Chain A
Amino acid sequence: MTRLVLLSLLLGLALGAPLRGQPPPPADLLKEPGYLDFDPLGLGKLGDSRLVVNLYGPTMRMMAELARGKDESFSSLVAKLKAIRARLWQVPPAEADAFRRGLTDIARRLERQGWQTAVEVRSESGELSFIQIRTDGEQILGLAVFFVDTDGQAGAINIVGSVTPEEIGRLGRSFNLESLERFEKPK
């Protein structure tokens, strides 16, 4: 349910102003081993995404700079990242199986391209999650997350940069996910 609240908040943000001034992704970002080009993966075939997040380059640097002194954990994490990218979908129940198959195919293809599946979760209720990492020795160069949940929300996320899942976990806790629990059982 926490995830549902986060997705709802994200989709709410999508109605705001897009980053008009953001330049196109620089060529060196596209060459990053941790960068995942969504287009050749065939994500478009899965349906029109409801939200596209593309943060990189100057945006990341400015976010890190603006958060410095106010939220050091967020600032230091973002300063290490080269991009945060996401696509989210609302999957009709009739298409959920096809979507799960599509994301599984993509995860398998990425494994062949050198991405390691850190976690793969499949539940009987239809929930599916892949967390994949791209590494160079001990260093993580990128993170790819694919998920479909029981509410029909699905997403593909790519975080480019030297980051560990523990750091993201710490940031998630600092984001105070518990405070979102109040949304879980509407009165």
Chain B
Amino acid sequence: MSRWVDPVSCAAVDAQLDAYFDGELSELDRARVERHVAHCATCAETLVAFEQLGDDLRAAYPWEVCPPRVSAAVLELARQESRETATRLVAPPRWANFFAGLVPAPAWRPILVAAAAALVLAVPLWRTLRGTGPADEPGAEFTAAELAQAEQEARLVLALVASIGENAGARVREEILTNRIVEPTRRAFGFGSGSATATEQRP
């Protein structure tokens, strides 16, 4: 009787659970994790906890369309985190392993994820509800008056371009109409170029 031996360790799967949950793993890695979880109760439990956390967060917060500025803020945070992580990976500090040992990942990770998610959601939510303060954009602090002025400037500049375009278009049409249609017609029919109309000049 053969016995299934998993070539992948729990630690290796644990390191990939975040990416698995986010659908970021390659097909091969995803299959490895799924095969391991199917036979490992501990890792399966962790995965269920992840899924439960996602469900709880969705249930706790009303479903709303995320405003682009909030998305931008979250993405910026993620980019910063990514840059910092990349830096750490390039040159891991000597004490990195020490701190890693203090945090048993499987048990604490859901709590840390929940705390991070709450923080990410709370900051823009607080700013949105506050309403009157500086606008919530990464790297930018605008007052409502500044934004109103910016909008007026944008509208006026665009209207100015539209006005210049319309004026230019009218002149081009006039030019084409006069030089290519009206004047050739006048010449062809022997009309003068004065202000008299064609009807008046007809015999």
Stretch at the interface among A5-13, A37-45, A100-108: A5-13
Contact present for A84 and B146 (CB under 8 Å): no
List chain A residues, Cβ under 8 A from B135. Answer: 21, 58, 62
Stretch at the interface among B5-13, B108-116, B157-165: B157-165
Contact present for A22 and B161 (CB under 8 Å): no
Given A22-B140, A53-B157, A119-B172, 19 further pairs, Cβ under 8 A: A3-B163, A10-B153, A19-B146, A20-B146, A21-B135, A53-B154, A57-B140, A62-B69, A64-B68, A74-B155, A84-B158, A86-B160, A129-B168, A131-B165, A169-B162, A171-B159, A172-B161, A172-B165, A177-B162
Contact present for B158 and A171 (CB under 8 Å): yes
Taking Cβ atoms with an 8 Å cutoff, the residues of A that contact B are 2-3, 6-7, 9-10, 13, 16-23, 53, 55, 57-67, 74, 77-78, 84, 86, 119, 121, 123, 129, 131, 143, 145, 147, 155, 157, 159, 165, 168-169, 171-173, 175, 177
Contact present for B172 and A121 (CB under 8 Å): yes
Contact present for B156 and A6 (CB under 8 Å): yes
Q: How far is the CB of B165 from chain A (nearest CB, A)?
A: 5
Give the residue of B67, B141, B153 whose beta carbon is less than 8 angstroms from that of A21.
Answer: B141
**Given the contacts A21-B142, A168-B158, A177-B162, A63 and B150 also touching, CB distance less than 8 Å:** yes
User: Please, how many angstroms separate the alpha-carbon atoms of A169 and B158 in the complex?
Assistant: 8
User: Please, how many angstroms separate the alpha-carbon atoms of A3 and B137 in the complex?
Assistant: 33
User: Please, how many angstroms separate the alpha-carbon atoms of A66 and B131 in the complex?
Assistant: 12
Contact present for A16 and B137 (CB under 8 Å): no
User: Please, how many angstroms separate the alpha-carbon atoms of A66 and B135 in the complex?
Assistant: 11
Give the residue of B140, B143, B160, B165 whose beta carbon is less than 8 angstroms from that of A6.
Answer: B160
**Given the contacts A65-B67, A168-B165, A19 and B150 also touching, CB distance less than 8 Å:** yes
List chain B residues, Cβ under 8 A from A2. Answer: 163
Decide if B118 is an interface residue (CB 8 Å cutoff).
Answer: no
Q: How far is the CB of B180 from chain A (nearest CB, A)?
A: 17
Decide if B51 is an interface residue (CB 8 Å cutoff).
Answer: no
Q: How far is the CB of A96 from chain B (nearest CB, A)?
A: 17
State the 6 A-B residue pairs at the shortest beta-carbon distance, nearest first. A172-B162, A21-B141, A58-B137, A58-B140, A23-B139, A175-B159
List chain A residues, Cβ under 8 A from B163. Answer: 2-3, 6, 172, 177
Contact present for A172 and B159 (CB under 8 Å): yes
Q: Which residue of A lies closest to B71 (CB)?
A: A61
List chain A residues, Cβ under 8 A from B171. Answer: 121, 123
Contact present for A145 and B147 (CB under 8 Å): no
List chain A residues, Cβ under 8 A from B158. Answer: 77, 84, 159, 168, 171-172, 175
